[in-house]
Amino acid sequence: MTETAGIIRKPASQLRRNWAKLRRNKAALVGGFILLGYIFTALFAPLLFSGNPSAPNLIMSLEGPSAQHPLGTDELGRSILGRIIWGSRVSLMIAIGVVAVGLFVGVPFGLISGYYGGKADFGIQRVTDMMLAFPGFLLALGLVAVLGVGIKNTVVSIGISMVPIYIRLVRGCVLTVREQVYVEAARAVGTRDFKIILKHILPNVMVPITVQTSLGMGNAILFAAGLGFLGIGVQPPTPEWGAMLGSGRAYLFNAPHVATFPGIAIFLSVLSFNLLGDGLRDALDPRFKL
């Protein structure tokens, strides 16, 4: 009897099972590793490059890659490697900020719209329709035109452009979840709506939100780099990858390395979020697979 009792194991938790599924996905693992490297670089930027990444050194202007400057220097003689390392902080900060705006505004409205239906749903959905009438990047451009340039306005503009995506996603999931028996049971025993949404609905829509957050971070980096490239995002001398690319454009013929390396940094960081996002979708909920 004691032997039998020893064989019976506690069932693995949902989190552990999902982690096991995610670990089996090689692409997601590669994405995870690149992402870890990216986060590490952003966190320990002062240790990895101790100098001032914005301090000009005109004698070293537009130097090619060398032992002293492994990725060369830009038009003001600043180390491109140093600026990429410090730029990782800026882009990660923007990505987190953008997704936070999307989540904190989009998720509550999506929950209300899906759970209550009726007039609230109608009103929220019409506003969402209007916002979706513009492609995301154009909406962000329009908002930047009103709010002005800079890190804060870049975050707000791109964040707002992502809000309708979260509203639509969460609303769609809530419509399915709210019909489940456990929600009906909670309602039948007199649980308040707020508690039902928080305890029963929200945990069950977390999977698509998590996937969207990962993919959204990648998009946020791309959008922010796009605005920086156009000169209407983060302003110099702040080291921002898109702005670095934008300034490198003028030196394509004599110093193509200036525009090459920041682009690789943007590509790798976006790729890491996309790989992880795809992996999370496959592991957590194959229904959402494209």
Partner 1 sequence: MLQYIIKRLLSTIPVLIGISLLLFFMLRMLPGDPAQVLAGQMATPEEVENIRNQLGLNEPIHVQYGKFLTRLVQFDLGRSARTQSPVTGEVWARLPNTMLLAVVAITLACVFGIPAGIISAVRPYTWMDYLVTSAALFGISMPVFWLGLMLVVIFSVVLHWLPAGGTGTWQHVILPSVTLASFVVAFIARMTRSTMIEVLSQDYTTTARSKGLKERVVIIKHALKNALIPIITVVGLQFGLLLGGAVLTETVFAWPGIGRLIVDSILARDYPMIQGTILIFGLLYILVNLVVDLIYAYVDPRIHYD
Residues near partner 1 (CB under 8 A) are 27, 126-127, 129-131, 133-138, 141-142, 144-146, 218, 222, 225-226, 229-232, 242, 245, 248-249, 252-253, 256, 259-260, 262-263, 266-267, 270-271, 274-275, 278, 289-290
Q: Which is nearer to partner 1, 209 or 221 (CB)?
A: 221
Q: What are φ and ψ of residue 73, in 5° steps? A: -125, 165
User: In this structure, are residues 137 and 222 in contact, taking their beta carbons and an 8 Å threshold?
Assistant: no
- Secondary element (H or E) of residue 228: helix 206-230
Smallest separation (angstroms) from partner 1 to the CB of 272: 9
- 3-class state of residue 73 by DSSP: strand
Q: Which is nearer to partner 1, 155 or 177 (CB)?
A: 155
Smallest separation (angstroms) from partner 1 to the CB of 288: 11
Dist CA 153 CA 277 (whole Å)? 26
Smallest separation (angstroms) from partner 1 to the CB of 130: 3
Q: Which is nearer to partner 1, 196 or 221 (CB)?
A: 221
- Secondary element (H or E) of residue 129: helix 118-132
Q: Which is nearer to partner 1, 129 or 193 (CB)?
A: 129
Q: Which is nearer to partner 1, 201 or 262 (CB)?
A: 262
- Counted residue by residue, the chain has a size of 290
User: In this structure, are residues 57 and 76 in contact, taking their beta carbons and an 8 Å threshold?
Assistant: yes
Smallest separation (angstroms) from partner 1 to the CB of 46: 27
Which of 202, 210, 204 is CA-nearest to residue 277?
A: 210
Q: Which is nearer to partner 1, 131 or 284 (CB)?
A: 131
Return the bridge partners of 73, or none: 79
Cβ neighbours of 236 (radius 10 Å):
14
Angle at CA of residue 242, ends 238 and 248, nearest 5°: 90
Which of 14, 12, 13, 36 is CA-nearest to residue 276?
A: 36
Q: Which is nearer to partner 1, 197 or 266 (CB)?
A: 266
